[in-house]
Amino acid sequence: MKHAINFILNREAVSIRIEPHITLLEMLREVFDLTGAKEGCGAGECGACTVLVNGKPLNACLMLAVEADGTEVLTVEGLANGTELDVLQQSFIDHGALQCGYCTPGMIMSAKALLMENPTPTEKEVIEAISGNLCRCTGYKKIVEAVMAVSQKNGK
Amino acid sequence: MRQFEYLKPKTLEEASRLLVQYGEEASVLNGGTDLLVRIRDGISRPKAVVDIKGIDRLKEISFDEEKGLTIGACVNLNDMIQYPVLVEKYRILAEAAHTVGSCQVRNRATMAGNITNASPLADTATPLLVLDAMVKVFGPQGEREVSIHDFFLWVRKTCLQAGEIVTAVRIPVYKENVIGNYQKHGRRDAVDLSTVCGAVVKIGDQVRIALGAVAPTPIRAWKTEEFLKGKNLTEDVIAEAAEIALRETAPIGDIRASKEYREEIIKVLVRRGLGSIRRD
């Protein structure tokens, strides 16, 4: 049986009817064509599917779509303002903080959640915040640098 | 994922009734970080998934000078860790909860879920064992409180009866400070399950030890505690305590470590734990 749900997706109110066994990740990718969040492990270990629900990062593969009812969901697609990239996205580009790019949307959303709560995190706090996101290219150093650059800019 | 029916009761009575009605074919959905993986892998095949997050009273966390700290079943681990009284009075539990999964997982996972899964390596279990926590349960017969020492029966088996739901975990008040810490020995620092874990604390002059991933359930090392009663924690006493603790366990070899490796680590964790409370 399909369930009717209403939620805010990237600042827009949406209503949809969805089967209960569909995960939030599947709904985002297959119903809304938001393919930024990716399925890596499907078990909450890699963080490639990280999105923000009510401002908190979580694994979209471990949440049912029906559980999004009444929440506010933000995906990497919702960060840019029109064609203007979020400062964190621009920083990832400036620092070459990606190789294959598979982990990037998840990394950015975890880091974004941290910066929303604490605009000037320390390097230790950044590393802690992205510890649930795996980068199999092992490009962590530049990712941390990209987030720290935003932290330093916010501190000025 | 396999199909199932999704039910979101608003009251405990309704939730319990649904669990009785569907029996073995129902699964409780709380944070979902374990259940959804199990459904996806085909290990759990529920016909009905009963989401308890619509029950408001399960989201409460409160402290009372007499009853202690009561943590509702649907309080996620990150919210729990940020509760000031928890950090101030029961730091060991905050430390252990912080080692569960990742930040993303802790924004969903709950302590009630962590213990109800009854995994031998549940991170919050050993601190709850040394703190003599009580598990509050609601069921067809009404409410009851079960000691954490009677809660775990076997691997993934608890004392919960048909239609029963964990509503909260209550940690009693201690006049003395709880000194000591949680140790998690894993293969990597972040997002890993324990190879062996343990909580060693001193409350007043009483030493308490609990160990995880060393037996079918997390355990209290009662005999070791008995041995330590009234003794100074000298090097010799600590070394002997580690040997006694080892005899209280029954570790297995699995994907994370061999039996022999676990036996070594059990002794190391007990020695380190006792060493640290001696210094404090």
Say yes or no: B1 contacts chain A, CB-CB below 8 A: yes
Q: Which CATH class is domain B178-279?
A: alpha beta
Query: What is the pLDDT of chain B when averaged over all its residues?
Result: 96
Q: Are B69 and B90 in contact (CB under 8 A)?
A: yes
ipTM, two decimals:
0.96
pLDDT tens, position by position, B155-173: 999 999 999 999 999 999 9
Residues A97, A71, single domain; the answer is no
Q: From chain A, pick out residues whose CB is under 8 angstroms from the CB of B40.
A: 42-43
pLDDT of residue B240 exceeding 90, the answer is yes
- Domain end call among A78, A110, A144: A78
pLDDT at position B190 is 78
Residue with the bigger pLDDT between B255 and A26: it is: A26
Say yes or no: A39 contacts chain B, CB-CB below 8 A: no
CATH 3.60.110.10, domain B5-54, yes or no = no
Q: How far lies B99's CA from each of A132, B191, B193, in Å?
A: 11, 8, 9
Mean per-residue pLDDT for B145-155?
Answer: 98
Which class for B33: exposed (0-12), middle (13-18), buried (19 or more C-beta within 10 A)? buried
Question: Could B103 and A132 be called an inter-chain contact, meaning their C-beta atoms sit closer than 8 Å?
Answer: yes
pLDDT at position B280 is 59
pLDDT of residue B279 exceeding 80, the answer is no
Residue A68's CATH number: 3.10.20.30
Q: What pTM was estimated for this model as a whole?
A: 0.95
Tell me how far apart the terminal alpha carbons of chain B are, to the nearest angstrom: 50
Q: Are B100 and B114 in contact (CB under 8 A)?
A: yes
Q: From chain B, pick out residues whose CB is under 8 angstroms from the CB of A105.
A: none
In angstroms, the separation between the Cα of residue A49 and the nearest Cα of chain B is 10
Mean per-residue pLDDT for B212-230?
Answer: 97
pLDDT of residue B257 exceeding 70, the answer is yes
Taking only the tens of pLDDT, chain A with its 156 residues reads 899 999 999 999 999 999 999 999 999 999 999 999 999 999 999 999 999 999 999 999 999 999 999 999 999 999 999 999 999 999 999 999 999 999 999 999 999 999 999 999 999 999 999 999 999 999 999 999 999 999 999 998
CATH 3.30.465.10, domain B56-171, yes or no = yes
Structural domain boundaries of chain B?
5-54, 56-171, 178-279
Question: Could B108 and A58 be called an inter-chain contact, meaning their C-beta atoms sit closer than 8 Å?
Answer: yes
Question: Could A129 and B2 be called an inter-chain contact, meaning their C-beta atoms sit closer than 8 Å?
Answer: no
